[in-house]
Structure 1
């Protein structure tokens, strides 16, 4: 009986197992032939969920285990099954020194089935022993600076420059009691400082003071997002949206006239696309730009009060110019949405004639950004105000464009602005990293509870706390590599090239990263308890400021539907045009050929090496995405064949499409993460990042294990083994958790958190 004592203990220890898991352990042991009939009956009685053992019996087990454990070598590395084997030899109460191999195997199978981490349970159980370091990578175990360099990539020097700049007292956080007006002025001064340092124009040509490198701009954006997110948005609006629209959509003459003034912040501007009435539906916005041939002017008009431009950054206080998106009309004929440069304030800061400006008001967050509303009452601008890279109108009113299709022209214009979506995804991940840095450091210092008679332990030593935070750290690592790859691929595109594949990845990763930030910052706040609720922890403001990231630069749900539509149609159709579904049958047939049958042995394999195999992870992620694609294509085709309208058919399967888009994003992150690990030359760092990548993969498989079981891609024992392996990975990575977030490279001055400082000990 001694061999099963550790499992009996864990069955009834507070909070370890559910009644269903206790019953499963009972049923598994009740059939073991190596136990006597009496022992089987006794174990069955002791593992009855409806009849727990009395306190005398329970503490008798505890005393027996503790006495015997003093003589067990390497206890800190033992599983519960290992300890059971040792106890059988030491106590010998009927088991004898030679516990049968099938008995030891059965104990290990029960432990794996329950998904407990033996060393952690033993640490809580055994008294009067020196507290052992958790089993895993010795601490310090790796060169933090080297891992930071991997995360920073080829823009490490630029990122370090921005970190140093933000660490200057000039960028110190204002008091939370600051008024919105004063806060906006502080953020404007910070933005001016960035412009003075040449960081506003980095994406522009050299003649405009820049480097012509959009990926470098995104790298700057990434580090700014570890600081104040109002600064990030202000910087993004001025240099990314306002300046980016001129750079991408303007003619050479327009770019040479405007970009030097925009990059220096001499000409603060806005990006006026979104309307109250249409939100994300840019193609059907209502603002009009009608050509007056006699005056050679455009007349910009807001047709009704409800059609005003909404949430326009830089509009409420600081902007002088705006890129205004409007329906271009000539002689009553519409040519679709185009962009126009429109003055909105004069040199004294007063609205221009015909321009009405209101403040969007106090917001949930980002109150350092002057979001405003714009109305245009027959505002006249010259013919040359049309940004004319992709469309031009002659003095006589003749419309010309190198892109004949209105739909393709529209998406070409929007595609040139996809860098903003990449930047927002990167910024969201940076906000998540900041929150994780605070929470992990705090969890490593904050001590609470502990084994009977022993010292309190760090809350990060608890499995529940590790499960809250460390998988999120792994996801932030993966997103870092995936977003960096996306930024570099985007930068490598030829101007005006086909951006459809990049657009799909940007939409998928922006959605995943911004939802990750929202979840992570909430988890970080809760993981720090009441201390995380203090403003000085610097979690609350990041949580409030980043919440909108799930909405701007594209609402996440809309973006995911766009991703799924792109996966179905190969990016050949416009977003809301659901006709011509002949491609659905082709996709279904091709995907079915690629999926094939999964090896039954793979489906049942619970071997640890197999569970940690990157190839197996990638195969499952790819199969999930392909199968979801096949299934949703079949659902759509069935509806279309039945005569359902194509729009209605699309709406009816949106749940499936959203699942497909999420699977696509998770696969993109896994591939980029695995490729980054494979490229590492240092063996120690390669091993470390391989474990972090495995945690990312297995934790996401665990989250979606119901689907994998439904599709017969894994069997129930593998599902349980995945849970156990996640716990083991957490145990191995716990000793280096702080170093993993230190590698995010956020200086204390930038983090700005009393409880998250890397230098100051936590007050007792």
Structure 2
């Protein structure tokens, strides 16, 4: 079926896209699971109450929604087949992300229950522990928490202070919070619902600290009272996600059986002997944490769903809302007809489409690793790096896009009933969930430097000399400003000065990749002295270049996201679907050129774009924004949301009804003899008469 064209302005250049084809591209290869998640999210019974803002009312509604997800069997899809699951790892995540449409609180609470608490048991535990706990967790019958973060340590998991000391006399672990900063904090489900937790603590046995391991620790009685030795505090009101009962947990030398250690990567025998198949403590730690990457993957996708929702509301409002008179005295101009409004929303639409395409590629990586199709160290490291980087940029993008959409809807966007303010509040913490975004980009940057060093280590000495010589010559060329006399990237790909040439996919890809290459090479050169420096001097040198490291990582992730939407465009059968291919190409070009415009100073300083071509970027973006505005409704309809998902009156008839009423009023009034004369018209007529005299 084709999208409704009744709102398409006369003289537009709207592409006649097929709605089903475009929706298939928007949803990706796991569309069936997304549709199922979307149907779940549309159930009115799962919404948070709008008329009762109390924590208890919000938490109670959120708990019902999270438990219903388990009852309907969603989480069980990712279980091992031996436990009745399908091992559909990526498909489950794709469907789960759509639950944000019911409410972000429901999505996060369910993520804590099934993705973190259940996921930790599944990926860190053994078969007996799966049989003992996992079925009940994934059915929502055993509510739990993921107790990793502490007041004093969040992103630095290796430095957690909670201890789990083994006592061979009783074959138990003593779990203890030695100081206030070691209290587990911001733990989802802890304040109200959790009966148990997977607790991350320093495993100590026979006088040796073996680093961070996870244990299953009961927290409450069946009646909901904290067990002896366990103190639970309520985090109370937060800036968003009111339905999630975050809390603090402290342990006063409580005891759990040896069998409660989730021992996939480290085992403790009855006599206290520690063994592990991974000899290196560092490698063991990162392997263990790598199994928990699902949280970052799902946040990347959920944030993108949130951005889609905001854009769906803002675009529909911009097509209905009219402001300032146009050529027709009775017909004001729609917001989306204004070039600046297009500049506000269309780049955000392109960025969101690119983020969705990149997320689908990330889900592919996730599926290959967790299904065992490619469970190598390299594949896991790549997945962890991409998940960290994608999550960081997508959650930041979502916040920026929701805020832009809120402002683009004016005062109507500030009303709670239109979702945008609440959505921004709820998504705010996504920027620090599962790792602070800035710290995650540092992880990506370190991986880039490691890859860069690995590429150089096998090059012969002559090759290194040639490489360094080439770099030196290149930097000399651009530093002296002679690049304009030679051939820059812009010259190679754009022999003619026009907007179409600047939209070349090869040019955009080359510029984005070249920026990453130069930034990483320059950073590696700046950090080279650290190899021979003292630990203190090396740390100080690294700290001085931390900003450059993070910016290089950001450039790398931006390049990957552009490559994902470029790959999507290239995979479309252009003969069968020419309009859809052209639309995706426009989205791709706008996303890429927006990135280049954002960093235009860098491309000019390093001579990658000559000035004449750089001046073409802005006009090309303006042209693309205008073209995409003609298909804006098609694009947001492809997201597949209905009124039951938007729940924003301004996007589903309220604004259109007001505009229709106003137009009818003015038309009827002007046709009546009693309609007052317009003083401006009288004045203009008077001035014209004077000029004629």
TM range (shorter): 0.7 to 0.9
Confirm or deny that 1:493 pairs with 2:383: no
Provide closer, same or farther for how the CA distance between residues 384 and 591 of structure 1 changes in structure 2, counting only shifts above 3 A. farther
Give the deviation of 1:383 after TM superposition. Answer: 0.4
Whole-Å separation in 2 of the counterparts to 1:608 and 1:554: 41
Correspondences of 1:226-375 after superposition (within 5 Å): 226-375=101-250
Tell me by how many angstroms 1:449 deviates.
Answer: 1.2
* Superposed counterparts of 1:735-746, under 5 Å: 735-746=630-641
- Count of residues in correspondence between the two structures: 625
Q: Report what 1:136 is aligned to.
A: 13
Structure 1: stretches of 5+ with no match in the other structure? 1-130, 574-580
> Matches of 2:657 and 2:85 in 1, distance apart?
44
Contact 2:494 2:501 in 1 (8 A): no
**For the structure 1 residues 271 and 599, does the alpha-carbon distance in structure 2 shift closer, same or farther, using more than 3 Å as the test?**
closer
Q: Are residues 1:620 and 2:501 paired? A: no
Q: Deviations over 1:454-511 (max 9, x none)?
A: 4310011111111111101101111111111111211111556421111111111001
Question: 3-state DSSP class of the match of 2:14?
Answer: coil
**Which residue is equivalent to 2:492?**
602
Q: CA shift at 1:640, angstroms?
A: 5.4
Is the contact between residue 494 and residue 502 of structure 2 (CA under 8 Å) also seen in structure 1?
no
Which entry has the higher C-alpha Rg, 1 or 2?
1
The residue number in structure 2 matching 1:6 is none
User: Is 2:319 the partner of 1:444?
Assistant: yes
CA contact (8 A) 1:230 1:367 kept: yes
Q: TM-score, normalised by structure 1?
A: 0.78
- Structure 2: state its 5+ residue gaps: 1-7, 475-486, 660-693
- Compared CA separation, residues 451 and 485, structure 1 to 2 (3 A): same
Q: CA deviation at 1:177?
A: 3.1
Cα distance between partner residues in 1 of 2:383 and 2:586: 29
Partner of 1:464: 340
Aligned-residue CA RMSD (Å): 2.4
Q: Cα deviations across residues 521-542 of structure 1 (Å, max 9, x unaligned)?
A: 1111100000000011011111
1:723/1:531 CA distance change after superposition, 3 Å: same
Q: Is the 8 A contact 2:136 2:142 kept in 1?
A: yes
- Does the CA contact (< 8 Å) of 1:569 and 1:584 recur in 2? no
Contact 2:37 2:96 in 1 (8 A): no
* Partners of 1:221 and 1:503 in 2: CA distance: 20
8 A contact 1:187–1:230 mirrored in 2: yes
Quickly say closer, same or farther: Cα 1:657–1:295, change in 2 above 3 A.
same
Aligned to 2:49: 174
Look up the SS of the partner of 1:546 in the other structure. helix
- For 1:279 and 1:159, the matched residues in 2 are separated by 32
Judge conservation of contact 2:33–2:92 (CA < 8 Å) in 1.
no
Aligned-partner Cα distance in 1 for 2:110–2:464: 44
Tell me if 1:689 matches 2:584. Answer: yes
Contact 1:673 1:693 in 2 (8 A): yes
1:686-739 CA-to-partner distances (Å, cap 9, x unmatched) read: 111111111111111111111100110001121110100000111111111111
Q: Distance in 2 between matches of 1:724 and 1:251?
A: 59
The verdict on how the C-alpha distance between 1:719 and 1:467 changes in structure 2, with shifts beyond 3 A counting, is: same
CA distance in 2: counterparts of 1:636 and 1:585, whole angstroms: 21
Please state if 1:479 is matched with 2:369.
no
Secondary structure of residue in 2 paired with 1:345: coil
Give secondary structure in 2 for the equivalent of 1:276.
coil
Question: Of 394, 403, 410, which aligns to 1:529?
Answer: 410
The CA deviation at 1:604 is 6.4
Check whether the contact 1:288–1:329 (CA below 8 A) recurs between aligned residues: yes
* Aligned counterpart for 1:748 among listed residues 633, 643, 648: 643
Answer yes or no: is the 8 Å Cα contact 1:163–1:747 preserved in 2: no
- Paired with 1:312 and 1:250, the residues of 2 have a C-alpha distance of 20
Distance 1:585 1:354, change over 3 A: farther
Structure 1 residues 636 and 583, CA gap change in structure 2 (3 angstroms) = farther
Give the 3 Å change call, closer, same or farther, for CA 585–509 of structure 1 in structure 2. farther
Q: 3-state SS of the aligned residue for 1:517?
A: helix
Distance in 1, matches of 2:453 and 2:260, equals 31
